[in-house]
Amino acid sequence: MLLMISTSDQWVWGMSPEAWLTVAAVLLGPILAVQAQKWVERRREERNRKLWLFRELMATRGTRLSARHVEAINLIELEYSAGRTKQKTVWEAWKSYVDALDKTPVDAAAQASHFQKRDDLFVDMLYEMGTYLGFGFDKVAIRRNCYTPVAHGYVEEDLNIIRKGLAKIFTSKSTAVPIRTVNDKYEGPPLVSAQDLYKATPLK
């Protein structure tokens, strides 16, 4: 412990309190500046990850079966913590939505109300994320301001039919694809329909 000399009002080592403060500032200033910069960078990176996550969910909210959307849903738990007060509402909204995804009723009559509740929980989750990040989206805008071309649904349906048909062929659960010989100028109906693929006779 340093002692003061009452007659000269100086430290024993011949330095005044102002001099010691100057030395401390010179030594600690760069260290504190580096630590402060690292803290700012961590906060910026954390916010950027949350912004990317919110953007992915908003961009894919019309195609919730897409790989991008599912990946973003699964990353929410990593970016939001129930132990942080400001993030807790987002985490709780995410947990309620995921629980609804895992509990689809078997009864067809109950599925309609369940799907509506699940959609409401999804909108609530996006609303809480937007509020946390400082966006002014309301729940109506989140639900309705989404464009999904009808053609995308047709493409997904066609790809699903093709996938199922090829899977049956390659796993020996179906006969070969139906083949017909036609004129080069044939302009009739499609040669192979979805019904043709599903009605193929399984191999014995």
Are 74 and 46 members of one domain? Answer: yes
Residues 46 and 137 in one domain: yes
The Cβ of residue 98 has, within 10 Å, a number of other Cβ atoms equal to: 16
The predicted pLDDT at position 158 comes to 80
- Residue 198 CA, chain-centre distance (Å), reads 35
Among 107, 129, 146, the domain boundary falls at 146
Classify residue 121: in a domain, yes or no: yes
Q: State the DSSP string of 58-109.
A: HHTTT-TTSHHHHHHHHHHHHH--TTSHHHHHHHHHHHHHHHHHT---SSHH
Q: What is residue 149's three-state secondary structure? A: coil
Domain that holds residue 51: 34-146
pLDDT for residue 48 = 94
Q: Is the pLDDT of residue 175 over 50?
A: yes
Residues 200, 123, single domain; the answer is no
118 CB-near residues (< 8 Å, 6+ apart)? 97, 100, 101
The answer to whether residue 12 sits within a structural domain is no
Domain annotation covers residue 47: yes
Q: Which amino acid is at 61?
A: R
Residue 167 lies in a domain: yes
Q: Are residues 164 and 76 in the same domain?
A: no
Does position 137 have pLDDT exceeding 50, yes or no? Answer: yes
Same domain, 97 and 120: yes
Are residues 154 and 138 part of one domain? no
- pLDDT score for 6: 42
Residues 53 and 85 in one domain: yes
CB 11, CB 18: distance < 8 Å? no
Domain count, the chain: 2
What tens digit of pLDDT does each residue of 25-67 get? 777 777 777 777 777 788 889 999 999 999 999 999 988 888 9
Same domain for 159 and 121, yes or no, is no
Residues 42 and 122 in one domain: yes
Banded model confidence at residue 16, pLDDT cuts 50, 70, 90: confident
pLDDT at 3: 41
The verdict on residue 3 lying in a domain is no
Q: At residue 167, what are phi and psi to the nearest 5 degrees?
A: -65, -40
